[in-house]
Chain A
Amino acid sequence: MKTEESETQAQYERPMSDAQGTAHGTNFLIRFDRVTKTYKDSSVALQGIDLSIADGEFISIVGPSGAGKSTLMKLIYAEEMPTEGEVWFNGRAISEISRGKLPLHRRYIGTVFQDSKLLNRKTVFENVAYALEVLGVPSEEIEEDVPQILEIVGMGHMMEKFPEQLSGGEKQKVAMARALIHKPIVIIADEPTGNLDPVSSLEIVDLLLKINELGTTVVLASHDKDIVNKAQKRVLVMDQGKIINDYSKGKYKLI
């Protein structure tokens, strides 16, 4: 019970990329140190990955399905643990975080997926508010923050709509608002534009760029070369669990 209480308290300290990030003498927010991930059926998802992502960076990960993009991202938000090697986050080895403290780790991270994972029985407002409710944020604060964030993603006028009344792009914007509502230091977007038309896709990328400008690190996985090239940021090319190329400016034309 004691650990839970400290969790409840900790959730009011909004995550900030503070001194911890430089604790090991690096400016890296996320660092993969010779990481290999093998799944139970002994298929290798990642092989000896070395990767550093700086605080405030925008990084796109591209590659065909099965290249290991999703696994790499899952290792960041601790959905999976590496078989070998270590993932460092904010100056801390993720494998050393106890099970009970993993929720705290996840509060530093916002996630967006191909399927927006919205709750169909809740309105747009309630969907975003839910993310704060489960963190134990006081109701007054929720009333204040949620419209604000919905305004930022351009969904302020649709707060009372239900997900099924929204288009795919609008759903993703709401998902984005939900990922941002607890002020994470990293946004992990796994194929956020996978289901969208080109116009909506570009809107989502614009939104990610905007978030990045405000200081949030963005990790975007995609196999859509248009949106990656639009970003004009660092591009990581993966294939078969390995990093093939690491361009500092987006010029991804392969595959």
Chain B
Amino acid sequence: MFLMISRTFREALKSLFRNGWLSVATVSILILSLYVVSVLYVVTHTTDKILKDIQNKITVSVYFKPDVAEADILAAKSDLEKNGQIASADYVSRDQALADFKRENADEPVILQSLDELGDNPLLASLVIKANNSDQYQAVSDYIKQTSYKDEISRINYDKGNIKDVISRLNSIDATTRRIGLVLSLILVVISILITFNTIMITIYAQRREIEIMRLVGASNTFIRLPFVFEGIIYGVIAALVSMLILFITLKFLTPYVSSVVSPKDTVDFYTSHFFQIFGLQLLIGIILGIISSLVAMRRYLKI
């Protein structure tokens, strides 16, 4: 058994070098498709992560009329916290809102000055609500509008339209990137299957004499097939290794250019933390491709 594997493996290596140019072409195509598939994988994951981050930052503020007592607002807060769709509801008093506002605009003297001239605190007390999921804000907003304290509320900033739009847009971007990534990956995988299949078929054709002799002296079918299967596996492994390297280089040196959208640390971190996941996936795709195409080609073009 060991003898058989070592001998067939050697045959595979030999054929790999003998078919030099053909092997390079096949491996390149495999690298390209594995690479693009992994880039898509990384991109979908990072967009996903970015979108999640943004979604986490989304809050909806419920502003209360200036004459509502703090106790009433706290009562509303505890009512909201009982709602299953709401993750948290933080109370921001009028004073705190003013302090926050001043801090945020510390380097805008004009704004601060006009605030001083106003004399009175123009800001409202509010509850900052965070939903469990970004698509639940509509429901939360609707809920608030039919509570007993709805008359104490000045406005809910969700209704202003902006946030509503942003949230629904984020949700659809998320779904679209996933779908496009999946479709592109599938197309590429199909293309590489066809090309690998084609190459291995040509290799088999180039070695039909050897195969004929093997058959005539009674080599087992496994012995005849194994070199081609190994060849496919070797293609897969080389392609996975190289595309992994190229992927790393891309992420390391290219993401800084799109840092306005994606933080480079994020993607490289993703690469390192998911190294084995991505590499394993590539290996798997590469090896399965190699095996399937060699088996199918053998069955079709040889009588074994």
Contact = CB atoms under 8 A, between A and B. Distances in A.
B218 A135 contact: yes
Contacts of A90: none
Contacts of A178: 213, 217
Contacts of B3: 136, 138
Nearest to B207: A119
A138 B3 CA distance: 8
Contacts of B222: 4, 7
Contact of B209 (A5, A105, A117): A117
Given A117-B209, A119-B209, A136-B3, A7 B216 contact: no
B212 interface: yes
Main secondary structure of the interface of B (DSSP, over half): helix
Given A103-B215, A178-B217, A136 B209 contact: no
A19 interface: no
Closest 6 CB pairs of A and B: A107-B218, A134-B219, A106-B218, A131-B217, A103-B218, A7-B220
A58 B1 CA distance: 37
Given A117-B213, A131-B213, A8 B218 contact: no
B261 to A, nearest CB: 52
A229 to B, nearest CB: 29
A99 B1 CA distance: 21
20 contacts: A5-B1, A7-B220, A7-B222, A8-B1, A79-B303, A103-B215, A103-B219, A103-B220, A106-B218, A107-B217, A107-B218, A110-B217, A117-B212, A133-B7, A134-B219, A134-B224, A136-B223, A178-B213, A178-B217, A182-B218
Contacts of A8: 1, 4, 220
A202 interface: no
Contacts of B7: 133-134, 136
Contacts of B95: none
Interface string B184-227: 00000000000000000000000001101111111111111000
Nearest to B3: A136
A40 B78 CA distance: 85
Point out which of A8, A77, A109 has the most chain B C-beta atoms below 10 A from its C-beta: A8
A149 interface: no
A182 B221 contact: no
A201 interface: no
A130 B227 CA distance: 14
A22 B210 CA distance: 35
Interface of B: 1, 3-4, 7, 209-210, 212-224, 303-304
Interface in A111-132: 111, 117, 119, 130-131
Contacts of B220: 4, 7-8, 103
Given A100-B221, A103-B221, A77 B216 contact: yes
Interface string A174-193: 00001001100000000000
B19 to A, nearest CB: 13
A134 B212 contact: no
A53 interface: no
A105 B221 CA distance: 13
Nearest to A130: B213
Given A8-B1, A8-B4, A134 B223 contact: yes
A30 to B, nearest CB: 17
A104 interface: yes
B10 to A, nearest CB: 10
Interface in A31-74: none
Contacts of A110: 217
Given A4-B222, A119-B209, A119-B210, A135 B217 contact: yes
Contacts of B216: 77, 106, 111, 117
Given A77-B216, A181-B217, 19 more contacts: A4-B222, A7-B220, A8-B1, A99-B221, A103-B215, A105-B218, A106-B217, A106-B218, A109-B218, A117-B209, A117-B212, A117-B216, A119-B213, A130-B213, A133-B7, A134-B213, A136-B7, A136-B223, A182-B218
A134 B209 contact: no
